[in-house]
Amino acid sequence: MDEDAEVFVISVAAELAGMHPQTLRQYDRLGLVTPGRAGGGGRRYSPRDVALLREVQRLSQEEGVSLAGIKRIIDLENQVQALRARLAELTDELGRTKVALAGAHEAAVAGMRRDLVPVRDAQLLVWKPYRR
């Protein structure tokens, strides 16, 4: 089953998470867990949402974290996930750029005249004749 498929109505999600449906409504209002919506406006929870509900319950009951603290933790975890995804995109882009640059370098070297030698760190000297 797709982790993001919104398939559970609130009563089923509450039972799977071991909570009362009113608790799920409160968590939705607080922005802790944001389920999808059906055509009629009813909440639809995914397996990922149910796992998040269980984590909220664990943090609250076992760790003693406040709901505001849990929201902050969830927000930070979402930021980390987004940053990791962006890092992966940039790493892929960097890899493609390196390959393209290597190909361009090889083409440039292949097109060089062999009778010319590149000079590095050359200095330009301007000669002016001495006037008397």
Higher pLDDT, 12 or 115: 12
- 68, 105 Cβ separation under 8 angstroms: no
pTM, rounded to two decimals: 0.69
**Dist. CA 95–CA 115, nearest whole Å:** 34
Domains in the chain and their CATH numbers? Answer: 8-109 (1.10.1660.10)
Percent of the chain clearing pLDDT 70 (strictly above)? 98
For 74, 82, 110, the CA distances from 88, given in Å and listed in that order, are: 21, 10, 33
**Statement: residue 59 has pLDDT above 90:** yes
Q: Say what the pLDDT of residue 29 is.
A: 94
